[in-house]
Amino acid sequence: MRISELDTPALLVDLYRLEANLDRVAGFARAADLKLRPHTKTHKTIHIAQLQLARGAAGITVAKIGEAEVMADAGIDDIFIAHQIVGTKKIERLLALAQRVTIAVGVDSRDAAAPLSSAFAQRGLRLPVLIEVDVGLHRCGVTPEKVLDFARQINTLPGLNLVGLFTYPGHVYAARSQNEVAGITAYECRIMNELTNQLAPIAEVTDRVSGGSTPTAPHYTAKCGLTEIRAGSYVFNDRTQLDRWSARPGDCALTVLATVVSTPEPGRAVLDAGSKSLAADLAPDSPGHGMLKEDNDAILVKLNEEHGFLDLSRASIKLKVGDKVEVIPNHCCAVCNLFDEMVAARNGEVLETWPVAARGKLR
């Protein structure tokens, strides 16, 4: 079947581009002697996680216990939950998971760490944890000057085993230049390296110093201070990655196939894909909510839930009602969470359909 025969909106993956993206970042990691532990919240799809592992990924990263459960059920047995686990229901599920796969979680407060420790200690278990360090995103994480003290506190908790440090340099998405991206990467590495040395007398964390993102991935070097990177968006890329110099339009592997349902006046077309198919995220610099793969000057300037407002005034593509187009979204991770399945195609020919098995696993 050709992709043009699919009903819309449909989530499409260009297999050539996907494979090239997987290879490129696996290559960056190899060249810098780093493990790659990709963040699978981007695709939430078992098949793609398996492609990543087949290319040498050391394990996977997830954000949610529900995502970890889906991946564990599929036989993936080394999972890092790069998130704080808070609440008794989640701790119960984590206990169950920890008894069937190798799992580690992030911690950044005694308040979250103590109940985890009690639950694991009560069953005679120790949960591997990584301290989250804030290197500039100012989301979660312990500030570097407080990490040593926090590590001492973790060491007093019998149900936890401090095995590493992790950070996420997500402030890179606000970088204004490639030099700034390189500077953010260098700072991340320096801080993580200093902390690893600082912790040496009290904890063995040298094997698990985790960081990275898609924009920073090309900038790591051997012995940079990290041991693994957790890039996520690189599998597909999107307009956010184009804005942050980590991809070119030809690297964008994920699109939403949509149909033109109205052409109310010259220079305008309306698609049957709105915020419920494309998500409402904005890109750092590029205007609007997406652009056409067929003509990057055709921009979705506005979304309603089920309508995409396409501005064709600068575009050369001519569209009529019934035409199908592919939209490159602003944020691939948010879009994957909106579809039950993704259709994998090569040269416009549909080859496979993959369930987005972890979509909606928000808990």
Ligand X SMILES: Cc1ncc(COP(=O)(O)O)c(C=O)c1O
Residues in touch with ligand X (CB under 6 A) = 39, 42, 61, 82, 168, 170, 213-214, 230-234
The SS3 assignment for 31 reads helix
| Residue 214 C-beta: closest distance to ligand X, Å | 3
272 φ, ψ (degrees, to nearest 5): -85, 25
Tell me the β-bridge partners of 36.
Answer: 229
| Residue 26 C-beta: closest distance to ligand X, Å | 14
> Helical H runs in the chain?
15-31, 46-54, 65-73, 88-98, 110-122, 147-155, 178-199, 239-243, 275-278, 332-336
Alpha-carbon gap, residue 114 to 158, rounded angstroms: 9
List of residues 6+ apart from 177 with CB closer than 8 A: none
For 308-320, letters b (16+ CB in 10 Å) and e give bbbbbeebeeebe
Alpha-carbon distances of 198 from 137, 166, 178, 330, rounded to whole Å: 22, 15, 30, 40
| Residue 62 C-beta: closest distance to ligand X, Å | 10
Identity of the residue, 284 or 355, whose beta carbon is nearer to ligand X in the bound complex:
284
| Residue 123 C-beta: closest distance to ligand X, Å | 27
Identity of the residue, 185 or 214, whose beta carbon is nearer to ligand X in the bound complex:
214
Identity of the residue, 61 or 227, whose beta carbon is nearer to ligand X in the bound complex:
61
| Residue, CB closest to ligand X | 232
| Residue 124 C-beta: closest distance to ligand X, Å | 30
| Residue 355 C-beta: closest distance to ligand X, Å | 21
Identity of the residue, 150 or 234, whose beta carbon is nearer to ligand X in the bound complex:
234
Identity of the residue, 106 or 159, whose beta carbon is nearer to ligand X in the bound complex:
106
Alpha-carbon gap, residue 344 to 352, rounded angstroms: 5
CA dihedral 292, 294, 298, 301 (to 10 degrees): -10
Alpha-carbon gap, residue 187 to 189, rounded angstroms: 5
Identity of the residue, 238 or 272, whose beta carbon is nearer to ligand X in the bound complex:
238
Identity of the residue, 168 or 339, whose beta carbon is nearer to ligand X in the bound complex:
168
| Residue 255 C-beta: closest distance to ligand X, Å | 18
